[in-house]
Structure 1
């Protein structure tokens, strides 16, 4: 019997109760909520091992919830929706969802998918967040960076930006994408903020310039390049 925790996020109370019944029968610890903002708060408090997430939610929709959860965690997410459009499925997967089910669905199939995703990811909710490369370590739990043998701290947003770029090394992101992933969907500042943080990070990474570079891709954005 499993003792792993599952968070269900759906504004339909009946669907939550049905999923909860089937998952509890398999030994899972189940929590549920019915809006996006509460989902993020519960996630931070309870650190579930997997999230079953509806798209159409009050206060914050499933896309934004998925984006925020993937920003702070590697938790696996199964998206639920009444829509069967290919666009919705592709968008969910691009945001980091691990699987996708269209309503109405068979509860036993959802349980099987939960089990399959957990086996595949084998990832607890808030896992240790480290990126380890030769001569470079970024530890988001301790909020420190180690370059060669020198360990130091960075301001929070610089840490998060560096971690995000290194985690997605060699992939190009626009300023808007970086702001969305680091500052969040409600950021109302100047997107040139990214340029200032990139400049500071380049200065910190100067000792490793022959190995790594935060490269400007003109007309597009930035990427962390491993040479």
Structure 2
């Protein structure tokens, strides 16, 4: 499962950007725009991770984290402009699992969040597993799941998915897909690739959003 996070950030423009990056990685996001709203949501719903801005109206992130910690061990990442050692220590004393200082890399924040959620659930990709967001492929058995539910793929669709997973974040050309999936002696045309990618997307359901068509080049799984 990709996970569901509570994102508490009072800067709505920054929050929107963060939400875009999390959702692009297959993570569901519920936003909050002040500390009181964040605490209410955290107490009423179940989340896999909290991402809390430290400086928020009504209640700051430290206060939210302290209140949550009295009831839950859900992972918490603080995101803040306060980067002094004392500020970082205060965050960890309040119960944070990680601390990210602004300005920060959005992909790094997402990676930190995913690692914490996997650790909290005791999940690790096995030696034969490839994953992105809610998609998991076992290369030994060719079994594919989305959010833990099995997905039925045709053999070449599974081969395309495996190649896209191995090259995630990079554009894979149609020529390379033909070479790896159909072989160098293939005498068809590139439309065969597009038809199989369309079938793959249909089978993946909501997770199909992670496969992007790159105009004039090929396909990419995930963000570049």
TM-score normalised by structure 1 residue count: 0.52
Partner Cα distance (1:106, 1:92) in 2: 20
Larger Rg: 2
CA contact (8 A) 2:3 2:117 kept: no
Partner Cα distance (1:28, 1:120) in 2: 16
Partner Cα distance (1:120, 1:93) in 2: 18
Alignment correspondent of 2:79: 80
Q: Which deviations, in whole Å up to 9, do the C-alpha atoms of 1:86-112 show, x marking residues without a partner? A: 011111111110000000111000001
Alignment correspondent of 1:122: 121
Q: Which runs of 5+ in 2 are unaligned?
A: 123-224
Alpha-carbon offset, residue 46 of structure 1: 2.1
Partner Cα distance (2:113, 2:74) in 1: 12
Partner Cα distance (2:32, 2:25) in 1: 20
Number of equivalenced pairs: 122
Instruction: Give the alignment of 1:52-91 within 5 angstroms.
Output: 52-91=51-90
Instruction: Give the alignment of 1:97-136 within 5 angstroms.
Output: 97-122=96-121
Alignment correspondent of 2:28: 29
Partner Cα distance (1:14, 1:48) in 2: 23
Asked if 1:38 is matched to 2:37, the reply is yes
Alignment correspondent of 1:13: 12
Partner Cα distance (2:2, 2:111) in 1: 16
SS in 2 for 1:79: strand
Alpha-carbon offset, residue 18 of structure 1: 0.9
TM-score normalised by structure 2 residue count: 0.53
Alpha-carbon offset, residue 4 of structure 1: 1.4
Partner Cα distance (2:35, 2:115) in 1: 25
Partner Cα distance (1:94, 1:25) in 2: 32
Alpha-carbon offset, residue 119 of structure 1: 2.1
Alpha-carbon offset, residue 44 of structure 1: 2.0
- Which has the higher relative contact order, 1 or 2, with Cα contacts under 8 A spaced 6 or more apart? 2
Partner Cα distance (1:120, 1:90) in 2: 22
Instruction: Give the alignment of 1:187-206 within 5 angstroms.
Output: none
SS in 2 for 1:63: helix
Partner Cα distance (1:53, 1:62) in 2: 6
Partner Cα distance (1:85, 1:91) in 2: 10
SS in 1 for 2:70: helix
Partner Cα distance (1:120, 1:99) in 2: 13
Q: Which moved more, 1:73-82 or 1:3-12?
A: 3-12
Alpha-carbon offset, residue 14 of structure 1: 1.2
Alignment correspondent of 1:95: 94
